[in-house]
């Protein structure tokens, strides 16, 4: 086994998130900027063989969990092949998806041993779904969440909570978790990325979320695991759980174990750090990319790519230069 990926703060990085594409069949306002997106030409993208080769290198360096994301990972024509190849590695494998195409991949997911998927859904109202995603696919998403549950998968719904947009629906999402032990909801604080018109006033904070939920439900906090991004709770007599990912007001950087690989093969050591290292070009030239990986993680900041407070002027100019969320991979 090669050297593990440990940064100067002693954090061991064991969780690899691979973006398969920057393309998507939705246009969520908080993720994809409103101006016309220029997508990466396909020759820039890592090919299935290259994804597999890089994943094997990371596994050799201690990675034990891989998540595929995007853009929408399932719009890639070879997504089924990639899922099956990565399923053969000695890691757990999972996906973050908007679920629109999952019905085409149920067999691939099962044969790759995927047990749990994160699915983005920000509203339970058809009209608001159209406003948020700019597409009319609410029922398809909802039906595919049901399909995944019927097929035995665990589903974690990711809801980005935005003031004045969908914040009045939080308790309706909590209610979804009451009856099914394989259905969980994660409320995510709205995060700043290039072009997504973020500002602090649009965040519904961790504390506000808990207070609003406690107006309707009695719940308890569940014990967490070392690298959890969400604090997890369960309503009394509820079957599933709800969690809050408080990236902005409750950062979890001190236990971060995440490695991000963009669809064009760039390594990011933090979602919010603008610096990247190209792994794909050296890989194509037959070079060993391990030293590049170790050096890049040796430079990792303690928190938020060097910023504790997102509203600071310097942080703002940084996240405005960072990639758009759709091109990083969630």
Least CB distance to ligand SF4 at residue 195 (A): 12
Q: Pick from ligand SF4, ligand SAM, none: which does 305 bind, CB < 5 to 8 A by kind?
A: none
Q: CA-CA distance, 97 to 287, in Å (whole number)?
A: 32
Per rule CB under 6 A, is residue 144 in the interface with ligand SF4? no
Which residue among 14, 70, 156, 264 contacts ligand SF4 (CB under 6 A)? 70
Query: Which residues inside 12-51 make contact with ligand SF4, applying CB under 6 A?
Result: 24, 26-28, 31-32
Per rule CB under 6 A, is residue 129 in the interface with ligand SAM? no
Per rule CB under 6 A, is residue 95 in the interface with ligand SF4? no
Per rule CB under 6 A, is residue 161 in the interface with ligand SF4? no
- Closest to ligand SF4 by CB, 86 vs 100, is 100
Least CB distance to ligand SAM at residue 61 (A): 24
Per rule CB under 6 A, is residue 69 in the interface with ligand SAM? yes
Q: Which stretch binds ligand SAM (CB under 6 A): 54-62, 183-191, 216-224, 290-298?
A: 183-191
Least CB distance to ligand SAM at residue 155 (A): 12
- Adjacent-strand bridge partners of 268: 260
- Closest to ligand SF4 by CB, 23 vs 307, is 23
Q: CA-CA distance, 61 to 292, in Å (whole number)?
A: 13
Per rule CB under 6 A, is residue 193 in the interface with ligand SAM? yes
Which residue among 63, 70, 264, 307 contacts ligand SAM (CB under 6 A)? 70
Which residue among 14, 19, 21, 98 contacts ligand SF4 (CB under 6 A)? 98
Q: CA-CA distance, 232 to 255, in Å (whole number)?
A: 16
Per rule CB under 6 A, is residue 121 in the interface with ligand SF4? no
Query: Rounded to a whole number, what is the largest CA-CA distance in the chain?
Result: 59
Least CB distance to ligand SF4 at residue 57 (A): 26
User: CB–CB of 265/279 below 8 Å?
Assistant: yes
Length reported for the chain: 330
Q: CA-CA distance, 15 to 313, in Å (whole number)?
A: 31
Query: Which residues inside 7-46 make contact with ligand SAM, applying CB under 6 A?
Result: 24, 30-31
User: CB–CB of 296/277 below 8 Å?
Assistant: yes
Closest CA relative to residue 29, chosen from 121, 124, 134 = 134
Tokens of 183: 């259905």
User: CB–CB of 252/206 below 8 Å?
Assistant: no
Backbone angles phi, psi at 320, to 5 degrees: -75, -25
Q: CA-CA distance, 134 to 128, in Å (whole number)?
A: 9
Least CB distance to ligand SF4 at residue 131 (A): 13
Per rule CB under 6 A, is residue 160 in the interface with ligand SAM? yes
Least CB distance to ligand SF4 at residue 7 (A): 28
Q: Pick from ligand SAM, ligand SF4, none: which does 32 bind, CB < 5 to 8 A by kind?
A: ligand SF4
In the chain the beta strands, taken as DSSP E runs, fall at 15-19, 65-69, 92-97, 116-120, 154-161, 183-189, 219-221, 231-235, 242-245, 258-261, 266-268, 277-278
Q: CA-CA distance, 183 to 201, in Å (whole number)?
A: 30
Query: How is the beta sheet containing 116-120 ordered, strand by strand?
Result: 219-221, 231-235, 242-245, 183-189, 154-161, 116-120, 92-97, 65-69, 15-19, 258-261, 266-268, 277-278
Per rule CB under 6 A, is residue 84 in the interface with ligand SF4? no
> Binding residues for ligand SF4, per CB under 6 A?
24, 26-28, 31-32, 70-72, 98, 120, 326
> Binding residues for ligand SAM, per CB under 6 A?
24, 30-31, 69-70, 72, 96-98, 120, 158, 160, 188, 190-191, 193, 196, 325-326, 330
């Amino acid at each position: 086994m090669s050297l593990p990926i440990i940064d100067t703060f002693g954090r061991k990085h064991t969780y690899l998130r691979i973006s398969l594409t920057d393309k998507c069949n939705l246009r969520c306002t908080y993720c994809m900027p409103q101006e016309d997106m220029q997508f990466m030409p396909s020759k820039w993208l890592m090919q299935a063989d290259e994804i597999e080769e890089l994943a094997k290198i990371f596994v050799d360096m201690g990675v034990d969990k891989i998540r595929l994301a995007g853009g929408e990972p399932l719009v890639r024509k070879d997504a089924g092949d990639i899922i099956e190849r990565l399923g053969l590695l000695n890691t757990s494998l999972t996906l973050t998806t908007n679920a629109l195409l999952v019905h085409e991949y149920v067999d691939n997911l099962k044969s790759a041993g995927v047990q749990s998927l994160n699915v983005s859904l920000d509203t339970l109202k058809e009209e608001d779904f159209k406003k948020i995603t700019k597409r009319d696919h609410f029922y398809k998403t909802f039906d595919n969440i049901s399909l995944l549950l019927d097929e035995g998968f665990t589903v974690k719904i990711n809801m980005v909570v935005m003031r004045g947009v969908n914040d009045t629906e939080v308790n309706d999402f909590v209610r979804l978790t009451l009856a099914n032990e394989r259905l969980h909801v994660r409320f995510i604080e709205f995060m700043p990325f290039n072009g997504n018109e973020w500002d602090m006033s649009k965040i519904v904070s961790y504390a506000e979320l808990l207070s609003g939920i406690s107006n309707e439900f009695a719940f308890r906090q569940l014990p967490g695991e070392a690298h959890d991004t969400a604090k997890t709770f369960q309503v009394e007599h509820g079957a599933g759980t709800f969690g809050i990912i408080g990236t902005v007001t409750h950062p979890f950087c001190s236990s971060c174990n995440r490695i991000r690989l963009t669809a064009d093969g760039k390594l990011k050591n933090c979602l919010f750090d603008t610096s990247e290292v190209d792994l794909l070009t050296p890989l194509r030239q037959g070079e060993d990319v391990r030293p590049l990986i170790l050096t890049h993680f040796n430079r990792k900041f303690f928190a938020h790519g060097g910023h504790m407070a997102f509203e600071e002027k310097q942080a703002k100019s940084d996240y405005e230069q960072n990639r758009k969320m759709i091109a990083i991979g969630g």
